[in-house]
Structure 1
């Protein structure tokens, strides 16, 4: 992983420090969630996918003992430094425990926060599923977007959607490389550092390519809406 900008660190959150780390979120002005995308477990005629279901599995997921999973997804994560053994031993115990902490930390329904994502369809869906305590998500696009606005507010921006209008290549690493943020081959590969890369890309796009005005991208999630 390359050196991070001065004053910025990627912090690990486990069962034993969850409440402490959540306190820091209340002071945030920008939040950038990220998660690796799942791969399909079964044929297109089924609805089972991913390495785990955020609404039903424990965050201390281990492929040998937990939900059905795709071996290539597990290999992808392990090759990038994720230790399933550590998550089994020290990870947040359940999705409901994480949801309770997130819902109670004062982060959501705050107008002062901007939410930044890259190609955020999956990860915002995961976040909504966690926050809903595993209850079914709305079955319509309008209902889903209303839920997103309820929890995240109006200031949601997707770097992938902005990059399209700025004629940048697809893929966060390629966007970052085009913006001279970090060489593509050296970019961070796990969720925390990837979140930072998306935030840095957003800042550079906003202030150096769009002259500070990203209002027309407000509330647009790449892959859902079009301008």
Structure 2
């Protein structure tokens, strides 16, 4: 597995790269890591109580990492087992609220909080890029696992750090707008898949049951996003994904999500157009084979539109990147 670490010095080029690749790999699996929980939700709490705790935690805590993995409808990636891991500088372990148990877990998973503080990305700067490059589109899908907190932290970031909406209904409506109604929560989907324990399992257990193979460290956002994307593909191979049943339903908040979804589906002006994208026909990967070779790069990528919405055709000659331990040099990864 190759995790592309994103810091403030390479943020712009990596977001541009993600935007470019997403034209051919429109399924975005994502995960977040954050500074823990200040309130813990009882197992049998109502959905309103769950959201009250979620809002309190997200409003008062900070995001630490965002993991992104890209797939096409056939489960292919730009490069097998590759993920991006955006490291944020917002969290100051000496000042900000956190839970000690979560801090121990993150440190044991290899997250260097001091380096994040020094070299990480400002969530405000990152949000502006993500809004333009990743969320301001009307195609593709998003995949998460037990994703209410992941959605909450993304929503907080994309709105410039504002508190989450006051009510659960407002939160679900806002999430549906951000993800254009094309969000899948694997933990909820697993309820309808025979052999997956009705969804009452964690991500790594789900991956194990699906025979997902990926090397890495759990509780790092890049690795977890990759496992989410690979698990989604395995589930689609073995069970039917029903758009009306599965899309835009967050585990633990499903009744409210379904209610909002039904209201939206009855309004043709708010009905999402395409949920799961069709398989890519041509080309099967982001660049022609010559762009994957280890030979010299010829420069311009003239068969694709530029990643930026304004501008003319561009000449892009990215440096080479060698994945440690693989002996593989990719000319398009920075």
Same fold per superposition (TM over 0.5): yes
Q: Is the 8 A contact 1:128 1:148 kept in 2?
A: yes
Match of 2:181 among 150, 154, 157: 154
Who is 1:24 aligned against? 17
Scaled by the length of structure 2, the TM-score of the pair is: 0.57
The alignment covers a number of residue pairs equal to 211
Question: Larger strand proportion, structure 1 or 2?
Answer: 2
Structure 1 residues 39-54: aligned runs within 5 Å? 39-41=36-38, 49=57, 52-54=61-63
For residues 82-120 of structure 1, what are the alpha-carbon distances to aligned partners after superposition, in whole Å with 9 as ceiling and x for unaligned? 11121122111x321221222232x11322120000000
Rounded to whole Å, the distance in 2 between the matches of 1:160 and 1:224 is 12
Q: Which runs of 5+ in 2 are unaligned?
A: 42-51, 64-86, 259-334
Match of 2:233 among 190, 203, 222: 203
For residues 164-193 of structure 1, what are the alpha-carbon distances to aligned partners after superposition, in whole Å with 9 as ceiling and x for unaligned? 22141411111110011138xx66411111
Structure 1 residues 1-227: aligned runs within 5 Å? 4=1, 9-26=2-19, 27-28=21-22, 29-36=26-33, 39-41=36-38, 49=57, 52-54=61-63, 59-60=88-89, 61-64=91-94, 66-92=95-121, 94-105=122-133, 107-167=134-194, 168-169=196-197, 170-182=201-213, 188-189=217-218, 190-210=220-240, 213-226=242-255
Q: Is the 8 A contact 2:109 2:217 kept in 1?
A: no
Q: Is the 8 A contact 2:148 2:251 kept in 1?
A: yes
Scaled by the length of structure 1, the TM-score of the pair is: 0.82
Rounded to whole Å, the distance in 2 between the matches of 1:154 and 1:179 is 26
Output the aligned Cα RMSD.
2.7
- CA distance 1:150–1:43, shift in 2 (3 Å): closer
Q: Give the greater-gyration-radius structure (CA).
A: 2
Rounded to whole Å, the distance in 2 between the matches of 1:96 and 1:30 is 24
Rounded to whole Å, the distance in 2 between the matches of 1:160 and 1:98 is 28
Q: Which runs of 5+ in 1 are unaligned?
A: none
Rounded to whole Å, the distance in 2 between the matches of 1:214 and 1:81 is 37
